[in-house]
Amino acid sequence: LLILQRRLILCGPDDSREISMMQARTPPQRSALGLDVRFAVSAMTSESPRSSLTGFRQWWEQRRRAHTFKVTRIPLADLQGWGFAPETGSLGHDSGRFFTVEGLRLQGDDTGTWLQPIIDQPEIGVLGILAKEFDGILHFLLQAKMEPGNLNTLQLSPTVQATRSNYQRVHRGGAVRHLEHFLGPARGTVLVDALQSEQGSWFWQKRNRNMVVEATGPIAESADFRWLTLGQILGLMRSDNLVNMDARSVLGCMTLAAPPRRDETADAFEQALVRSYDADAPTAHTTAEILSWFTEMRARCGWRARLAPLREVTGWSRTPDAIADHGRDRFDIVAVRVRAGNREVQEWTQPLLEPLSRGRAAFLTRSFAGVLHMLVQARAEPGLPGIVAMAPTVQNPAPADIPDALADGEDPFADYLHGVPASRVRFDTVLSEEGGRFLRAETRYQIVDAGPDLPPLARDTFRWLTMHQLMMLLRHESYLNIEARSLVACAHSLWSPSGKP
Amino acid sequence: LLILQRRLILCGPDDSREISMMQARTPPQRSALGLDVRFAVSAMTSESPRSSLTGFRQWWEQRRRAHTFKVTRIPLADLQGWGFAPETGSLGHDSGRFFTVEGLRLQGDDTGTWLQPIIDQPEIGVLGILAKEFDGILHFLLQAKMEPGNLNTLQLSPTVQATRSNYQRVHRGGAVRHLEHFLGPARGTVLVDALQSEQGSWFWQKRNRNMVVEATGPIAESADFRWLTLGQILGLMRSDNLVNMDARSVLGCMTLAAPPRRDETADAFEQALVRSYDADAPTAHTTAEILSWFTEMRARCGWRARLAPLREVTGWSRTPDAIADHGRDRFDIVAVRVRAGNREVQEWTQPLLEPLSRGRAAFLTRSFAGVLHMLVQARAEPGLPGIVAMAPTVQNPAPADIPDALADGEDPFADYLHGVPASRVRFDTVLSEEGGRFLRAETRYQIVDAGPDLPPLARDTFRWLTMHQLMMLLRHESYLNIEARSLVACAHSLWSPSGKP
């Protein structure tokens, strides 16, 4: 609703400079269809003249063979260009750029203080997917990109993943390819543009700019990039560890129109899912009620977080190989050496955060009045801007070894999820988190249609939202956390033809 | 658009616990009219059987006489229960509650480091106005409330201004009257509920919960509280230093329906203003364009702010009477003793921030296609959550003695404002900022209809927005800063019958 495109009508005082500036910012009318319909049509398209899935598989196999990529664990002392600051003990790069590993001090509301290491990367980067219409269908340019933390080397990534350091060329490598389409005077038509947070237990207030931009001219071909329909990308979300976190984050920010109603042969879940995209479908709560609930959750949270020198982090130990959380099983900070063929720099060393267990992120779903709703949890993570965000129904590991900021007692739905019959599990794929900062960080993403045996909502930290409501919130900053955004993208795959298992 | 009230339709799996919870949260149908229409109707009402302006004036005069209130400047050393922490030098209360005066360290993007004192009040308080329908018209319960920093003692305040410390009764005074209508199981129907930031150069990431709640039962009368229509309140906004900052902040978060079209006798400004509330009126930019622009402004800002020990703040000096910004003219931190009759505690001492010059906040306006637009500035303030917010066209003083975070060169509109003819100045009132934290902090609020001689928008830090677009953004956290929210409330007074000069 919010971005209902209105035709620009200008009159009033004459100011040609300003009017021409406005006109320059008005999207060209590429199509009579609304943007949400164009996204949905692309999501319905699993084969196009420009792009076939067979062609994709061949290309992907080639890319995997073409890239030599070796990641080796090294002692922290072997990091080159990185060091521990004498005064604070924090781990950073000599240039002062990229990121640092700092301490986080979290104070609860009368419940004590907790400390942990955390990655501090204050600059806002760009996660950008370039779009272009071929044969009337929007295609999206994805990249076969290696990241040192990926357990399978290559993953399918946005057209551009650029930190400020990247695009200011701090590491003296090549420029970031295609970045000019997203920033600066020659950029294309902006279709999606929102700041969004990332992992709130591992990053300190990290936000990236999630963009989809429609190219205004021809795009040069290159071996590591490939145009895909949204339907194809959603289908590939079903493969373990293929579509990377940054791509999922951007896909999760798109607003899709309601797909066509299913015929009677479709099952009730799919019928309800499709209706969930409809702006006019009935909802369990009005959006005003959801916003008021979320305001209350943020106001209730008494957590207070701030950065601290890493040397003040007690309960963690520094061995030659890691800053380790001994006795608990959250994560270590380790170091790697990377040798790669297609990165901007041929060889480098860097720290990575290595989680010590696989994560889980699951939405439970349910129909009200024939409309599918996702069960969203208000959840505190110490590093999030705003601290509280809308999260999956179940999200593990817990943000830290500390009491829940918003509710007492056991998580009522984790156990339910363990016992749920396979027929109710609609999406179940292991996907990787940011391979540029995390080493082999995997999360099992699930969408599970809850049965009548669902435990009652004993806490007020949960709310049922439709897909349309989630997409409207995703136009704004910091409502949905990164795991919830990934699940929104996963949900799109449940009605996209190539996404069906 | 976002809170289009939808009728709750429930079916699907039976879960009586959950459904009853949902129903409990559904607003009772008090009126067939939408909330925005009910607000607008109240704004059109300058006299009601329940409340007359004459009666208000008599009551106000009584309240002024009834309250003994004395504020005395005292040396910092005479603060009772407050002290400077030995290690950090920060000024705080012995209980650890209320607020502290800390240091702020601001790093620019390759441009240096700045330090200043800043008030740190991490708890989210409630600013709440109680609403109730009398004779079919919404009335709002305002309070005659003294704050130590108010230069005229009493101001017209929300029903409730409660910090967490307040409502947890840390200072062992009485309970906050009427708070039960805003929090807890017996509260009324929530009409407005949003977290919003406050002064970003004086507060560290302060946010309050701005609420309007419709009472569900009878409200006990008491001498310091009075029901007023929205039209009456808007009229009173024209009086210097009468409607306090917290009341303006809450009023600024209301969504008002478009008032009736003016007849031909109304001037072009008022015709255009009324159309500016219309959701379907043409706009200079789509909301998607505005959100993308704002995302770019936030991403562009290279400022990095964090708290630091107050003793690390160089360039400021501590005299017996103040922490003073010698040689510049921003603010001092001073101490006062307060003796009051109607506060929860009869006598206390506390620090206050005393600005050393009067502030200015002005919206320039202009019509496009007969629809009034406000010229909004993206502006960085180091203490704001998100750092960049939408601000008035002209806002003084500058956040600090440092280069602009978003643009080079002179502010193009400050000079224009000085030379503008009086006939173009539509609103011009001196209003106070938070009297509980600031000593005699005044800001001159102006709304000025720009002429054809308006300088061009030489920077891309400005955008034209309609009233409807501003109100839609105000449902979400941290888009408009506190000065811009005050001006939105001021703009409502320009068409409200009792608001006309």
What tokens does A80 get?
Answer: 């080159």
For A389-412, the DSSP string reads EEE-SEEES-SSSS--SS--S--T
pLDDT given for residue A163 in this prediction: 83
Burial tier of B16 (Cβ tally within 10 Å: 0-12, 13-18, 19+): exposed
Please name the residue that has the structure tokens 């009728």. B7
Q: Quick check: B454 and A194 CB within 8 A?
A: no
> Residue range B94-118: average pLDDT?
89
pLDDT given for residue B184 in this prediction: 79
CB–CB contacts below 8 A, A to B: 171
Instruction: Answer yes or no: is pLDDT of B341 > 70.
Output: no
A282 at the B interface (CB within 8 A)? yes
pLDDT given for residue A357 in this prediction: 92
Chain A: give the shortest CA distance to residue B282, in Å: 6
A113 at the B interface (CB within 8 A)? no
* Separation CA B231–CA B39 (nearest Å): 9
Binned at pLDDT 50, 70 and 90, residue B12 comes out as: very low
Q: Nearest by CB to B295, which of A5, A195, A304?
A: A195
Q: Quick check: B451 and A4 CB within 8 A?
A: no
Instruction: Answer yes or no: is pLDDT of B164 > 80.
Output: no
Which one is predicted more confidently, A434 or A166? A434
Mutate to test the interface with B, among A477, A478, A479, A480 (most CBs of B within 10 A): A477
pLDDT given for residue B128 in this prediction: 98
Task: Provide CB contacts within 8 A for A464, sequence distance 6+.
Answer: A284, A285, A366, A368, A373, A374, A375, A376
> Residue range A456-463: average pLDDT?
90
* Separation CA B484–CA A477 (nearest Å): 19
pLDDT given for residue B59 in this prediction: 97
pLDDT given for residue B264 in this prediction: 80
Chain A: give the shortest CA distance to residue B359, in Å: 29
Q: Nearest by CB to A12, which of B369, B477, B478?
A: B369
Q: Nearest by CB to B286, which of A3, A306, A370?
A: A3
pLDDT given for residue B441 in this prediction: 97
Instruction: Answer yes or no: is pLDDT of B303 > 50.
Output: yes
B170 at the A interface (CB within 8 A)? no
* Strand, helix or coil for residue A276: coil
Contacts of residue B18 in chain A, CB cutoff 8 Å? 456-457
What tokens does B36 get?
Answer: 């925005």
A28 at the B interface (CB within 8 A)? no
Chain A: give the shortest CA distance to residue B212, in Å: 11
In the chain, the amino acid numbered A366 is R
SS3 for A284-311 is CCCHHHHHHHHHHHHHHCCCEEEEECHH
Highest mean pLDDT among B50-54, B151-155, B407-411: B50-54
* Separation CA A195–CA A187 (nearest Å): 18
* Separation CA A251–CA A158 (nearest Å): 9
Contacts of residue A26 in chain B, CB cutoff 8 Å? 289
* Separation CA B145–CA A238 (nearest Å): 60
Contacts of residue B282 in chain A, CB cutoff 8 Å? 6-9
Mutate to test the interface with B, among A35, A160, A368 (most CBs of B within 10 A): A368
> Residue range A8-29: average pLDDT?
38
Is A490 in contact with A445 (CB distance < 8 Å)? yes
- The DSSP element (H or E) to which B367 belongs, if any, is strand B359-368
Binned at pLDDT 50, 70 and 90, residue A26 comes out as: very low
Q: Minimal CA–CA distance to A256: which of A281, A279, A232? A: A279
Q: Quick: pLDDT tens for A46-100.
A: 999 999 999 999 999 999 988 878 899 999 999 999 999 999 999 999 988 889 9
CA B318 centroid distance within chain? 31
| CB count in 10 Å sphere of residue A314 | 10
Computed from CA positions of residues B415, B421, B426, B431, in that sequence, does the dihedral angle turn out positive or negative? positive
Is B128 in contact with B159 (CB distance < 8 Å)? yes
Contacts of residue B366 in chain A, CB cutoff 8 Å? 12-13
Instruction: Answer yes or no: is pLDDT of A498 > 80.
Output: no
In the chain, the amino acid numbered A212 is V
- The DSSP element (H or E) to which B293 belongs, if any, is helix B287-300
B194 at the A interface (CB within 8 A)? yes
What tokens does A369 get?
Answer: 């009045």
Please name the residue that has the structure tokens 């420029």. A175
pLDDT given for residue A170 in this prediction: 43
> Residue range A11-36: average pLDDT?
50
Q: Minimal CA–CA distance to A191: which of A230, A145, A221? A: A230
Burial tier of A424 (Cβ tally within 10 Å: 0-12, 13-18, 19+): middle
Q: Quick check: B123 and A302 CB within 8 A?
A: yes
Look over chain A and give the mean of its residue pLDDT values, rounded to a whole number: 88
Chain B: give the shortest CA distance to residue A336, in Å: 29
Contacts of residue A6 in chain B, CB cutoff 8 Å? 282-283, 286
pLDDT given for residue A12 in this prediction: 31
Q: Quick: pLDDT tens for A110-134.
A: 668 999 999 999 889 999 999 999 9
* Separation CA A31–CA A29 (nearest Å): 5
Instruction: Answer yes or no: is pLDDT of B104 > 50.
Output: yes
What tokens does B344 get?
Answer: 């929860």
pLDDT given for residue B14 in this prediction: 36
Instruction: Out of A234-243, B41-50, B84-93, B410-419, pick the least confident.
Output: B410-419
A23 at the B interface (CB within 8 A)? no
Which one is predicted more confidently, B373 or A397? B373
Contacts of residue A8 in chain B, CB cutoff 8 Å? 282, 284
Tell me the CA end-to-end span of chain B in Å, nearest whole number: 32
Binned at pLDDT 50, 70 and 90, residue B410 comes out as: confident
What tokens does A152 get?
Answer: 């399978």
Which one is predicted more confidently, A33 or A91? A91
- The DSSP element (H or E) to which A435 belongs, if any, is none
* Strand, helix or coil for residue A16: helix
Is A412 in contact with A455 (CB distance < 8 Å)? yes
Instruction: Out of A37-51, A72-86, A303-317, B20-34, pick the least confident.
Output: B20-34
Q: For chain A, give the number of residues.
A: 501
CA B381 centroid distance within chain? 16
Binned at pLDDT 50, 70 and 90, residue A11 comes out as: very low
Percent of chain B's residues with pLDDT above 90? 71
Q: Quick check: B13 and A472 CB within 8 A?
A: no
| CB count in 10 Å sphere of residue B111 | 12
Contacts of residue A190 in chain B, CB cutoff 8 Å? 288-289, 292
Q: Quick: pLDDT tens for B241-272.
A: 999 999 999 999 999 999 988 888 889 999 99
What tokens does A226 get?
Answer: 């490939």
Instruction: Answer yes or no: is pLDDT of B499 > 80.
Output: no
* Separation CA A139–CA A188 (nearest Å): 15
Task: Provide CB contacts within 8 A for B128, sequence distance 6+.
Answer: B158, B159, B160, B161, B162, B178, B179, B181, B182, B209, B211, B212, B213, B250
B135 at the A interface (CB within 8 A)? no
ipTM for this prediction: 0.91
* Separation CA B22–CA A232 (nearest Å): 38
Please confirm whether the linkage preceding B397 is cis (ω < 30° from 0): yes
Instruction: Answer yes or no: is pLDDT of B22 > 90.
Output: no
- How far CA A255 is from CA of A136, A171, A427, B281, B467, in Å, comes to 19, 36, 20, 23, 25
Look over chain B and give the mean of its residue pLDDT values, rounded to a whole number: 88
- What's the maximum distance between 2 C-alpha atoms anywhere in chain B? 70
- How far CA A486 is from CA of A38, A244, A363, A425, A427, in Å, comes to 21, 10, 11, 17, 12
Q: Quick check: A386 and B477 CB within 8 A?
A: yes
pLDDT given for residue A239 in this prediction: 96
pLDDT given for residue B230 in this prediction: 98
B292 at the A interface (CB within 8 A)? yes
Q: Quick: pLDDT tens for B441-477.
A: 999 999 999 988 999 888 899 999 999 999 999 999 9
Binned at pLDDT 50, 70 and 90, residue A394 comes out as: very high
For B380-411, the DSSP string reads E-TTSTTSEEEE-SEEES-SSSS--SS--S--
Q: Minimal CA–CA distance to A456: which of B19, B24, B10? A: B19
* Separation CA A59–CA A54 (nearest Å): 9
* Separation CA A352–CA A321 (nearest Å): 12
pLDDT given for residue A127 in this prediction: 97
B278 at the A interface (CB within 8 A)? no
Mutate to test the interface with A, among B88, B250, B289, B375 (most CBs of A within 10 A): B289
Is A105 in contact with A308 (CB distance < 8 Å)? yes
Chain B: give the shortest CA distance to residue A482, in Å: 18
What tokens does A280 get?
Answer: 């006019």
Chain B: give the shortest CA distance to residue A325, in Å: 26
Instruction: Answer yes or no: is pLDDT of A409 > 60.
Output: yes
| CB count in 10 Å sphere of residue A167 | 18
A284 at the B interface (CB within 8 A)? yes
Instruction: Answer yes or no: is pLDDT of A201 > 90.
Output: yes
Q: Quick check: A22 and B285 CB within 8 A?
A: yes
Is B51 in contact with B299 (CB distance < 8 Å)? no
* Strand, helix or coil for residue B461: coil
| CB count in 10 Å sphere of residue B288 | 20
Instruction: Answer yes or no: is pLDDT of B307 > 90.
Output: yes
Instruction: Answer yes or no: is pLDDT of B166 > 90.
Output: no
Computed from CA positions of residues A306, A312, A317, A322, in that sequence, does the dihedral angle turn out positive or negative? positive
Q: Quick: pLDDT tens for A470-486.
A: 999 999 998 999 999 99
What tokens does B496 get?
Answer: 């409200």
Please name the residue that has the structure tokens 């949900």. A491
- How far CA B342 is from CA of A366, B221, B338, in Å, comes to 52, 16, 12
A480 at the B interface (CB within 8 A)? no
